[in-house]
Structures are given as structure tokens and as C-alpha cells.
């Protein structure tokens, strides 16, 4: 079954970006800034371990000086994902990276709700670890500004020092330092023939989905299954409700009955890259889980967190409808299958 709504891929990417941002904001408001920072640190450290060294090889950067390789990795991987980012090389031992407004991760007014401590946790989780993973204890990251603190951008540079750094020195702040001029012509990019528009659309989607893929298991590990389902489930349900209108418009869904809700969920599944998608008058099914493809040792609560996104979508489609899970692929039942039907009436006691 092919995707009849190719433009839906960008809406799906935006949905997953919003889901991640909403999850972090929920952690800030409901668990407090320290807990949210701990969660963000865990997410970015896990992503670093999974992606950094393989990414250097895939992008052809492993041969470069370490400061340059680290900065170019962040530039290319983020730009491929659709993030506004700049890069400048001062020398073999010093290279800058700047994430320009609007911040992709903290989209729109969400930036106003992100404490500086949470933004710093992202840098501690990933940027400060690059030297360790490269086997270079002299490489650190110097942050010269954070948009979360009101600075013009999240910006800084990788610097290979003349000595080995202590763990607490791998990330430091120097806000008085002036940034260089960023020359677009000097920034690296990939061959256009290797990255046609369709491949970039899929890359944007995969980039956004990767954040939620990492965040759900990290929240379960950090907070425990019950609290993670409560926190993440609420955030994702709210995001699903908020994103119903643009997703339905992109999928060409105008009605509000169960069949159209099923058609919307099926269209989203195809845009996510799911396999074995089918739907009918009151059900939808898929034979894969693109978000968690290849994930090992996944807690059963991960499904409950993720499923809340679709519960919210159906609630916004028609609050009189309920989304009921009939089969779970993650429990070895061959596929995911949901039924969409009117909620039973609430009867007075």
C-alpha cells in the first residue's frame, strides 16, 4: 500500500517534534526543572552513544581533526533533519556551531517555557561527551550563548585544549566571547544528487521521530513505568489533540465519523513509514512500529505512552469516540490493531 498523501510526512515530523517538546514541558511543569533536566540529559546522552560515532562514519567526517569533525557532525546531522544551523571553522582545533532562531527543538513560544538548566542538560548529555567518545580527553565544548537564556542563539565552539580536561571542564560557558562571521559558502553540505527533496522529507521525519523514540524509554527508566505513563501519556494525548486539525487537513479528512478517524490514523501510519497498514469502517491496523524499529528490551509501558498520542487525535476528531486496542505487536500479537467506536454513555449511579 503506497502513501497517497506525500505531503503528510512533514506534518508527521512536526507532530513528533511537538510530542517531544510537549513531553519536556510537561516534565518541567509537573516534575520540576531538576527532574526535567535529568530527563533531557539522559535522552541526549543515549542519543549520543547511539548516533555520534556511526554518524561520523556515515557522513564521511571521521578523518577530520576532532574539533572540526564534532562541529561538522552537528551541522550536517541537524541540517539534514531540517534544523536552522550554522558552522564556522577557525582552525583544526577550534570550530563553531550555532543553532539559530527559531529554535527547532523548542518551537514557537515553547522556548519561553524551557529553563536554561534544561538547555544546559542537552549540552552536557551530548556536546560535552564528544571528546570522550573520540578518545580525545582534550576536546571540550565552550557555550557562548543559549536562546533559552535570552541569548541570540544556542552557540559555541569545540576546542581542543593543550591538556586533558577534567569531567567538569568538558562543558564551560563564556558568554562574553564574540562569535565569528558565518560564511554560508564555507559551510559543508552533501551532494544534491544524494539528497533529493523526497529523501530530505523522509530525513526530516526520521530526525523528529528519533527524539520521541529515545525520550519514552528514558522517561520510563528515570521515573518508573506508572509515572512515565501518567506524565508522557498526558503530554502526548494533549499534543495529539492539538495536531488533529493540521494532520486531518494534510490527509484530506473532513468528516468526523469512525471510518474517517480510521482513515486518518491509516494515512498517518503510512506517512510514518509503517508496513501492513489497513483500515475499515471502524478499525485500523499496522504490522510494524516504525518509531521503535530495532529497539531492544522495550518496556511494555512504552506502548501506553505512545498510544496516548492517537487517543488524543481521536478525542479531537470526535470526543464521543473511543480508541480501543485489540492487538499489540510489541506483545507478540502480530500487529497493532485498534477499534474506533462510540463511547458508552455515562449512566448516573
Average pLDDT over residues 307-329: 98
**Mean pLDDT score of the chain, rounded to an integer?**
95
Task: Check whether 259 has a pLDDT greater than 90.
Answer: yes
Task: Check whether 71 has a pLDDT greater than 80.
Answer: yes
Of 124, 148, 121, 131, the closest CA to residue 95 belongs to 131
What DSSP string describes 273-335?
T-SS-EE-SSEEEES--GGGTT--S--THHHHHHHHHHHHHHHHH-TTEEEEEEE-GGGTSSS
pLDDT at 83: 94
Task: Check whether 77 has a pLDDT greater than 60.
Answer: yes
Task: Check whether 327 has a pLDDT greater than 80.
Answer: yes
Identify whether the C-beta of residue 131 lies closer than 8 Å to the C-beta of residue 170.
yes
pTM (two decimals) = 0.95
Burial of 108 (0-12, 13-18, 19+ CB in 10 A): exposed
Burial of 164 (0-12, 13-18, 19+ CB in 10 A): exposed
Average pLDDT over residues 199-216: 93
pLDDT band, residue 335 (cuts 50/70/90):
very high
283-286 β-sheet, strand order: 278-279, 283-286, 336-342, 321-327
**C-alpha to C-alpha distance for 333 and 287, rounded to whole angstroms:** 10
Task: Check whether 1 has a pLDDT greater than 50.
Answer: no
24-48: b or e for each residue (b if 16 or more CB lie within 10 Å)?
A: bbbbbeebebeebbbbbbbbbbbbb
Average pLDDT over residues 302-324: 98
**C-alpha to C-alpha distance for 136 and 67, rounded to whole angstroms:** 10
pLDDT tens-digit map of 4-49: 676 799 999 999 999 999 999 999 999 999 999 999 999 999 999 9
Cell 565552539 locates to: 157
pLDDT at 344: 85
Task: Check whether 192 has a pLDDT greater than 60.
Answer: no
pLDDT at 200: 85
pLDDT tens-digit map of 274-302: 999 999 999 999 999 999 998 988 999 99
Task: Check whether 80 has a pLDDT greater than 50.
Answer: yes
pLDDT at 6: 67
What secondary structure letter does DSSP report for 83?
Answer: -
Average pLDDT over residues 135-151: 98
Task: Check whether 191 has a pLDDT greater than 70.
Answer: no
Identify whether the C-beta of residue 20 lies closer than 8 Å to the C-beta of residue 288.
no
Q: Are strands 321-327 and 336-342 parallel, antiparallel or unpaired?
A: antiparallel
Please identify, in words, the CATH class of the domain defined by 8-194. Answer: alpha beta
Domain boundaries along the sequence of the chain? 8-194, 226-342
Which are the contacts of 69, defined by CB distance < 8 A and separation ≥ 6? 56, 61, 62, 63, 134
Write phi, then psi, for 235 (nearest 5 degrees): -60, -45
Amino acid at each position: 500500500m503506497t502513501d497517497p498523501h506525500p505531503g503528510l510526512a512533514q506534518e508527521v515530523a512536526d507532530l513528533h517534534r511537538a510530542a517531544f517538546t510537549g513531553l519536556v514541558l510537561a516534565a518541567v511543569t509537573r516534575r520540576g526543572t531538576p527532574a526535567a533536566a535529568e530527563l533531557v540529559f539522559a535522552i541526549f546522552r543515549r542519543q549520543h552513544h547511539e548516533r555520534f560515532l556511526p554518524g561520523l562514519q556515515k557522513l564521511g567526517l571521521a578523518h577530520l581533526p576532532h574539533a572540526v569533525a564534532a562541529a561538522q557532525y552537528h551541522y550536517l546531522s541537524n541540517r539534514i533533519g531540517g534544523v536552522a544551523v550554522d558552522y564556522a571553522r577557525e582552525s583544526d582545533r577550534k570550530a563553531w556551531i550555532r543553532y539559530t532562531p527559531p529554535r527547532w527543538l523548542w518551537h514557537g513560544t515553547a522556548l519561553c517555557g524551557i529553563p536554561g538548566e534544561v538547555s544546559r542538560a542537552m549540552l552536557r548529555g551530548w556536546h560535552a561527551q564528544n571528546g570522550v567518545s573520540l578518545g580525545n580527553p582534550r576536546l571540550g565544548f565552550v557555550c557562548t550563548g543559549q536562546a533559552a537564556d535570552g541569548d541570540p542563539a544556542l552557540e559555541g565552539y569545540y576546542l581542543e585544549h593543550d591538556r586533558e580536561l577534567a569531567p567538569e571542564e568538558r562543558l564551560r560557558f563564556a558568554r562574553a566571547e564574540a562569535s565569528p562571521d558565518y560564511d554560508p559558502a564555507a559551510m559543508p553540505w552533501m551532494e544534491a544528487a544524494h539528497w533529493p527533496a523526497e529523501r530530505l522529507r523522509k530525513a526530516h521525519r526520521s530526525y523528529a521521530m528519533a527524539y520521541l523514540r529515545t525520550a519514552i524509554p528514558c522517561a520510563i527508566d528515570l521515573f518508573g513505568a506508572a509515572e512515565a505513563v501518567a506524565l508522557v501519556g498526558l503530554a502526548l494525548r494533549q499534543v495529539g489533540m492539538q495536531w488533529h486539525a493540521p494532520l486531518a487537513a494534510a490527509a484530506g479528512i473532513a468528516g468526523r465519523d469512525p471510518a474517517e478517524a480510521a482513515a486518518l490514523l491509516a494515512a498517518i501510519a503510512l506517512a510514518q513509514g509503517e508496513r501492513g497498514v489497513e483500515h475499515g469502517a471502524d478499525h485500523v491496523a499496522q504490522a510494524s512500529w516504525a518509531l521503535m524499529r530495532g529497539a531492544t528490551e522495550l518496556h511494555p509501558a512504552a506502548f501506553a505512552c505512545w498510544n496516548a498520542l492517537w487517543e488524543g487525535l481521536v478525542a479531537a476528531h470526535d470526543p464521543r469516540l473511543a480508541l480501543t486496542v485489540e492487538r499489540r505487536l510489541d506483545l507478540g500479537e502480530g500487529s497493532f490493531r485498534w477499534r474506533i467506536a462510540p463511547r458508552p454513555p455515562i449512566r448516573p449511579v
